Chain A
Amino acid sequence: MELLRFATAGSVDDGKSTLIGRLLFDSKAIFEDQMEAVEQASLRRGEVTNLALLVDGLRAEREQGITIDVAYRYFATPARSFVIADTPGHVQYTRNMVTGASTADLALILIDARKGIVEQSRRHAFLASLLRVPHLVVCVNKMDLVGYDQDVFNAIVEEFRAFAIRLEVSDLSFVPVSALVGDNVVHRSAAMPWYEGSSLLHHLETVHIASDRNLIDVRFPVQYVIRPHRAEHHDYRGYAGQVAGGVLKAGDEVVVLPSGWPSTVAAIETFDGPVAEAFAPMSVTVRLADDLDVGRGDLICRPHNRPHVGQDIEAMVCWMADGALKVGGRYAVHHTTRTARAVVKDLIYRLDVNTLHRDESATDLGLNEIGRVRLRTTVPLFYDEYRRNRTMGSFILVDEATHATVAAGMMLDPSHGG
């Protein structure tokens, strides 16, 4: 069975919580005691059963009727297991959606059929494309309130497609649904015979995700060195880590960065025995044929397929802290298993997430703003363009005084910009 991680974006008004509630309820992932608790809580508030209460876990959220933070929900069908990163639409929407989308295979965007595409829909689609979520599903919701009209649906599809051309979205699908009634959520709806696609759940169960990972460029960031210091493993020295790209095979010729020393993969080991090959996201231990000085933060790759190596990094960053990013600011940077310090050399432009307008006169990035920056790091980073490999092309910036995570970064190709 496979695992599919998807992010949902939107506000209660779009019917997002109802849609999630419907998916969970119809797939039997909501338990009776949870449902009972929600019904009782709704009664106390004098509301009809409010499925948003299932998702809004914190006291402040329930009191204020808003979602503050990303919540993770789980359900499974016989075909797949699902992790939903449910990201709120109200407060801190950019920060939360970027967080939820960073690990998602698929992003689900809700559009109210009565209102059509609004600013928020464009923003969500842009953030999903910025974070390189491989699959985008647009649910046109509340179809029951527009008389299940095919023309309404088609007009939204057409307008969205025209807008999405400006983004890089590799797989875009549209499903007309009514989350409240359940049309096309779990089962195909008889009310919309003109719709020939699959139900939302069927789409989630069958969308092809196996080829989303990079299986070409071998990347193994060394995370931890295993040295047992025990009699039976006296000379054992294994490099533990999680494969970040490609298919690494026993017997492969490799080089270790930054030293550039060549070696051969002697074995790829796990607790359950050696494996002939390893691919992302497997956690394994690699042993090399030669005795080299290798430690955390080094990278094992193939001699003729190396990542970029550099201290001058261009990246799109999403700023997540109250104090603004400024040129000259210094931060700690966490990239794969490597840590360095970085200084912001240049803010190239600030991007308006609603219009995609680039403001080249910007001098800082405030909370929830996105821009393109140039960084200089204290040591070289080994990286790939984010669009080619999300693990090798992502980093976070950490404030060295408060230790807060202040930015998420997506690296660009140094050779041809972007």
Chain B
Amino acid sequence: MTDTRTKPPPPGAYQLTQLRALESEAVHIFREVAATFEHPVLLFSGGKDSVVMLHVARKAFWPAPLPFAVMHIDTGHNFPEVIEFRDRTVEELGVRLVVASVQASIDAGRVAERPGVSRNRLQTTTLLDAIAEHRFDAVFGGARRDEEKARAKERVFSFRDEFGQWDPKNQRPELWSLYNGRHQPGEHIRVFPLSNWTELDIWRYVAGEEIDLPPLYYAHRRQVVRRDNMLMSLCEWIQPAEGEEVLEALVRYRTVGDATCTAAVESAATTADAVIVEVAATRITERGATRADDRFSEAAMEDRKKEGYF
């Protein structure tokens, strides 16, 4: 029972770098899902986490094409650069894009829009309806545990009941790299391949792999208003309120979501390497700096996640 190669290798040999270890873990997760689920789908918004997720997914199945579609939950309040990027990316990769529209959910009377409130929370209904309609049984999301304290408790394979609900107090234990994706028809599993990545890891990976991102992730001049101490970009849905001064600022986005609740930060970083320097020095979390939706309460994210949010 002995191999000819029984000598241990020299110390330091055969060690993966941290980014390669994270990539390898994510590739393993993608393949596990492709091998054991019927209808997976990958949530793709054009945001940096979903772009990195898609990049790693391609690597997992190369030279075969992606064995699943991608889906965008479209609030209708988009940055045009991001939609253009989304369409170009799916075209280049030859993957199927499913767009589920919050506007359509509003029109169908599934949800009611409240004036002055972002459509962020409404996405949950649209997402769950689309999952049911297409019978998706595994849904890949780009959420990371370092983003937010409720997400720090999230499993890689996260069970959702037939109402799409997350029960944080009753999660399946997740040991080693043995994932339990078993579920009944109508239930589904959210899968988070980038669980163990941090914002800095994402940027280092973007730089190292030369991954293309929508241009608003890099410094550019833009008209903004300062609202609730955040820089909101002027667009169809954001107009200066009385007393608000329109500023032209050099900004970039740390996260990209619904245009009505995602803010910019002042920055001169025009490359991924320059962003890394900024991120490494920053003292504010990306959600705290840029997401109006997470500042409602200590448990804003937990409450949305329980309902079935991303």
A356→B171 CA distance, assembly (Å): 29
Known contacts A3-B22, A83-B196; A282/B180 CB under 8 A: no
What residues on B are CB-neighbors of A224 within 8 Å? 31-32, 34-35
Are B174 and A99 in touch, CB under 8 angstroms? yes
Are B11 and A73 in touch, CB under 8 angstroms? no
Query: Which of B104-112, B143-151, B250-258, B263-271 lines the interface with chain A?
Result: B143-151
Are A76 and B200 in touch, CB under 8 angstroms? yes
What residues on B are CB-neighbors of A229 within 8 Å? 64
A229→B61 CA distance, assembly (Å): 12
Tell me which of A58, A270, A394, A398 contacts B168 (CB under 8 A). A58
What residues on A are CB-neighbors of B16 within 8 Å? 281-282
Interface size class of A (residues with CB under 8 A): 35 or more
- Report the minimal beta-carbon distance from B183 to chain A, rounded to whole angstroms: 6
CB-nearest residue of chain B to A1 = B18
Are B174 and A57 in touch, CB under 8 angstroms? no
Are B27 and A72 in touch, CB under 8 angstroms? no
Are A68 and B65 in touch, CB under 8 angstroms? no
Within A118-157, which residues are at the interface with B (CB < 8 Å)?
none
What residues on A are CB-neighbors of B149 within 8 Å? 54-57, 71
- Report the minimal beta-carbon distance from A84 to chain B, rounded to whole angstroms: 10
What residues on A are CB-neighbors of B288 within 8 Å? 31, 33-34, 37
Query: Which of B2-10, B81-89, B132-140, B241-249 lines the interface with chain A?
Result: B2-10
- Report the minimal beta-carbon distance from A165 to chain B, rounded to whole angstroms: 26
Are B14 and A215 in touch, CB under 8 angstroms? yes
Known contacts A62-B298, A215-B14; A398/B180 CB under 8 A: yes
Known contacts A2-B17, A403-B183; A281/B25 CB under 8 A: yes
CB-nearest residue of chain A to B170 = A404
Within A225-255, which residues are at the interface with B (CB < 8 Å)?
226-230, 232-233, 236, 240-242, 246-247
Known contacts A71-B152, A271-B59, A391-B176; A59/B285 CB under 8 A: no
Query: Which of A176-184, A195-203, A300-308, A371-379 lines the interface with chain B?
Result: A300-308
A274→B284 CA distance, assembly (Å): 41
Q: Give 5 nearest A-B pairs by CB, closest first.
A: A57-B149, A33-B288, A271-B59, A283-B27, A403-B182
Are B146 and A405 in touch, CB under 8 angstroms? no
Are B1 and A99 in touch, CB under 8 angstroms? no
Query: B175 near A: Cβ within 8 Å?
Result: yes
Tell me which of A208, A211, A337 contacts B8 (CB under 8 A). A211
What residues on A are CB-neighbors of B201 within 8 Å? 81
CB-nearest residue of chain A to B151 = A57
> Could you list some 10 contacts between A and B, CB below 8 A?
A28-B283, A58-B302, A71-B153, A74-B196, A74-B198, A210-B14, A215-B9, A283-B25, A394-B178, A403-B184
Query: B173 near A: Cβ within 8 Å?
Result: yes
Known contacts A2-B17, A58-B169, A95-B173; A283/B283 CB under 8 A: no
A394→B176 CA distance, assembly (Å): 8
Within B164-192, which residues are at the interface with A (CB < 8 Å)?
168-169, 171-178, 180, 182-184
A60→B303 CA distance, assembly (Å): 12
What residues on A are CB-neighbors of B284 within 8 Å? 31-33
CB-nearest residue of chain A to B14 = A279
Query: A103 near B: Cβ within 8 Å?
Result: yes
Are A210 and B11 in touch, CB under 8 angstroms? yes
* Given contact pairs A58-B302, A59-B299, A217-B3, a sample of 7 additional A-B residue pairs in the complex whose CB atoms are under 8 Å apart: A1-B19, A31-B288, A210-B13, A210-B15, A226-B61, A247-B9, A271-B59
- Chain A CB count within 10 A is highest, among B148, B175, B183, B303, for B175
Query: A218 near B: Cβ within 8 Å?
Result: yes
What residues on B are CB-neighbors of A404 within 8 Å? 172
Are B302 and A57 in touch, CB under 8 angstroms? yes
In the complex, per-residue mask of A3-24: 1 if CB is within 8 Å of any chain B CB, else 0: 1000000000000000000000
A224→B37 CA distance, assembly (Å): 12
Known contacts A242-B177, A281-B24; A31/B282 CB under 8 A: yes
Tell me which of A2, A217, A296 contacts B18 (CB under 8 A). A2
Task: Give A residues with C-beta under 8 Å from B.
Answer: 1-3, 28, 31-34, 37, 41, 54-60, 62, 68-74, 76, 80-81, 83, 95-96, 98-99, 102-103, 208, 210-211, 213, 215-218, 223-224, 226-230, 232-233, 236, 240-242, 246-247, 270-272, 279, 281-283, 285, 296, 302, 304-306, 320, 332, 334-335, 337, 390-391, 394-396, 398, 403-405, 408
Are B152 and A57 in touch, CB under 8 angstroms? yes
What residues on A are CB-neighbors of B4 within 8 Å? 304
- Chain A CB count within 10 A is highest, among B5, B13, B61, B178, for B178
- Report the minimal beta-carbon distance from A55 to chain B, rounded to whole angstroms: 8
Known contacts A57-B302, A304-B1; A394/B61 CB under 8 A: no
Query: B21 near A: Cβ within 8 Å?
Result: yes
What residues on B are CB-neighbors of A59 within 8 Å? 298-299, 302-303
Query: B220 near A: Cβ within 8 Å?
Result: no
Query: B304 near A: Cβ within 8 Å?
Result: no
Are B35 and A296 in touch, CB under 8 angstroms? yes
- Report the minimal beta-carbon distance from B117 to chain A, rounded to whole angstroms: 22
Are A31 and B1 in touch, CB under 8 angstroms? no
Within B17-69, which residues are at the interface with A (CB < 8 Å)?
17-25, 27-28, 31-32, 34-35, 58-65
Tell me which of A57, A216, A242, A334 contacts B3 (CB under 8 A). A216
Known contacts A32-B283, A59-B302, A95-B173; A398/B8 CB under 8 A: no
Query: B289 near A: Cβ within 8 Å?
Result: yes
Query: B115 near A: Cβ within 8 Å?
Result: no
Query: B80 near A: Cβ within 8 Å?
Result: no
Are A69 and B168 in touch, CB under 8 angstroms? yes
What residues on B are CB-neighbors of A215 within 8 Å? 8-9, 14
Are B3 and A304 in touch, CB under 8 angstroms? yes
